[in-house]
Chain A
Amino acid sequence: MSLRAHAWLRTAACLIPLVLASERILAQGDQLSNVKMLVDQARASFDQLDYENTVKALDSAIGAIEARPTAEAKRLLSSAYEMRARSLFGLNKQPGARADFVSLLKTEPGYQLTGQVSPRIMTLYDEVAKLTVTEVRMAVVPPDAEVLLDGVRVPASGTLPIAVGDHTITASRIGYKPATHPFSAIAGEPAVVESLALERVASVFRFVTAPAGVEVRIDGISHGVTKPGPPPAEYAEKAARAGVPAAELSSVLTVTELPIGAHRIEFRKDCFVSAERRQTVDQLDDYVLDPVKLEHAVATLTVTSNQTGTLVLIDGLQRGVAPMTISDVCEGQHLVELKSASGRYFQRVDARTGQKIPIEGTLRPAFALVSASGAAALNTDLRLTIEKQFQSSQSVTLFAPAAEDTAKALGAEKLPQDWLAFDLNRRPLGTAAEVAAVMRSDLSAKLSRQFDAQGIASVTVPSPTSRNRLVVAFLAAGSGEPDVLDVNLDSADAATLAVGRLDRGLLFFKPSLGLTVVDVADLDGPVIVAVDPNGPGAKSGIQPGDVLLKANSLAVPDAGTLTTLLAGRKADDDLTLELTDKAGAAKRADVRVLMTPRLIGMNDQSLMINKILVDLKARLLSPGEPINDSVMRLNLAVALARVGLWSEARLELQRVKLNEGPGVSNGTVQYLLGLAAERMGNAAEAEAAWRAAAATTALISEDGLPVKELAEARLQALQRRPGAQ
């Protein structure tokens, strides 16, 4: 075997597995990389003048490209044809070389051979080119039209090499009617395509904005939103002229088919000042506006709160903690909310660009209006009507969460809108009649939590014949017994009255002299009929039967006058009283005003007990004077008991520290502890508490019944129970 044969064998040994591998690789479908590899291998063989292996590798590569002519693969095709043609020429296979040159020029008519080319090959190539390629001269109007020659984009004007044969030129441009021009190229005769002028059919607007994302409305109709840029380079100069940073520019938004006439163009984007341009279309043409820059439209909110740690939300998004300044509030209507554990404040603001809006939030316990039912007079959200009616309340905040949020919350609990519908008689209506108090209690706690409120509320139109009579039901979180308020939309005073009732405040202390006075006919002043033995009156020698004539030299004709006089006093104020005793003898007494605790009536139906509940809970979140807190806690306990929350009431009562004495005092606490213990089934604890209460001179409220009397009645009832000893 000759050396040459050895070399061939060695090469073949190398190539055989290579070809096999190439087929396998091709079969695997990673065509492009395999084609590239084959072409690279062919080039290596070509450079070593190993034409046979070059041809073999390129046969596979060209076959693969022709089988699946992807754009990427086709880019390799011309050089593959060139290399195979020159290899075949080297192998003295001139017909094959000629055929490959023909294929090459049909694929790329303007192709120039690469590298050093032998004159013989060059002669063959030129000879083939003369027969295969000619020229085409093109001139398409408008010159910026998109021109495709056999589907390949080409310049709209100039001379191009072109393969001999049939071709098609298509031209199109926005605003023009597209056109197609078929022609034949003949060897040796340049083709001319100069008459292709597109017909103008529409005017075209082009917009660039800063920033992107601007809605473009022409004559009130939206034509899209600009997308992020950059735009073509020609806009850079215009942008610079308009003082718009190039980086902010959008891409071009093109709008077509605007008729002849004047047009109003609006540029809108949330939180930006809208801009407007006017453009007249005189003729069908292209109209390119200078870049439109929109200025930020923001107001500044300065938010303060009466509580520390108050969260600030704008349109439901948390923005920080008050006090704070928010300088990027977009122009328009916003809901500003301030929230804390004990209350809420909200304000709907209509922000204008550059405006400085102070928000001085006074947080108050809040009721979320979660449902509305009944036939309203107007097709409006009654919750918003009520929210507005109660806006002037100084004690609570009534707010209407978004309707979809309440619908979702009620839906999650499978509750219809009338689940909390009550009439003015506090009778449940519709579905509400099927909701037990204990269930309402659970739901009020859950929904209050869900809406970050201290309670919930509903609004109902109880009668279809009086559609402007609304009833608002209030439930504190955890309460199952609602308070109701009547709001008559026909009456201007109705809301004032309702708010007045809601805002009726509680006083936890009252000035006292430790005297019980009554009015009697035929006397010059009220008669003292009872004297607290440890009170200021007793210390000054006042006795039952004395008649009070003057206080600090002012006549006191009746008990009401004394009450009024005391109402303006504070603890330790001194008063000089002039009296007569039973026998008619004059006497004087210097007394010092004492502040005595007050307690709401356990059964007082005139109280808005749910409002009192949320109010007291809120107040007790900020500790104050121990005695004040104790009295508030005592009142809170009674409010809790009123809505059936005896367990919580008991816990509050256990924290109350009041002295023994007449009026509202420790005896009152003991009596109430007895009630709580009884409710919780602890008869022994109840009995012990009532026994303690029965030994006191306390009252159940400031002017209520003696606790002794009440406690003894309870103890007797305990004794009468079956099984009692």
Chain B
Amino acid sequence: MKTFILACVVLGLILGGITANALFIHKISTELIEKVSRLPESIEHTELFAACLETVNELDETMKKHRLALSITVTHADLEGTENLLLRLRAACREKNADDYGAARELLIAKIHNLQESEGFSLDGVI
């Protein structure tokens, strides 16, 4: 009977833990997506790159702040993929490369969406 109760407690803790983790990842990824969405889709005036670089720095800070917590459940490949896209976006802003900027922004949004879905509940993920 004691083992049964212990097993029920462990199951409860697991369910609580994964729900809390899903909410945490959802919160962080929503914050990241909001910040990326603030960046303009395409840049026609080169003066805008400086403002974009500031937003990219903010994104980088958010990622660094939560990296340890994220790495508990998010695979290293997903984390590194997100960080690499941030680096690519930063480089595009510095080099004022409008083509690469647009592509990197789209890819980063898709990557964060993917991360959000993989850690939350989705039938696609389960299947």
Whether A and B are associated in the same complex: the answer reads no
